[in-house]
Amino acid sequence: MLRYYIFGIVLGLHPRAARKHLLEGTLADGNNYAENIEKFRVLARQDIERYFPVLKPPRNITWDVKQVEKHFELTIKLSRIGRLFGLIHDLDYFLPIFVNLVAICLFLAK
- Could you read off the pLDDT of 20-77 as tens digits, one per residue? 888 888 888 887 777 788 888 888 888 888 887 765 645 667 788 888 877 788 888 8
pTM flag (> 0.85): no
Number of structural domains found in the chain = 1
Q: Which domain holds residue 48?
A: 2-109
Q: What digits encode the pLDDT tens for the residues 75-95?
A: 888 878 778 888 888 888 888
Of residues 93, 91, 34, the one with CA closest to residue 65: 34
Neighbours of 52 (CB within 10 A): 23
pLDDT at residue 105, as a whole number: 93
102: helix, strand or coil? helix
Banded pLDDT at 108 (limits 50, 70, 90): very high
What is the end-to-end Cα distance of the chain in Å, rounded?
20
Which residues are CB-neighbours of 50 under 8 A, at least 6 positions away? 18, 28
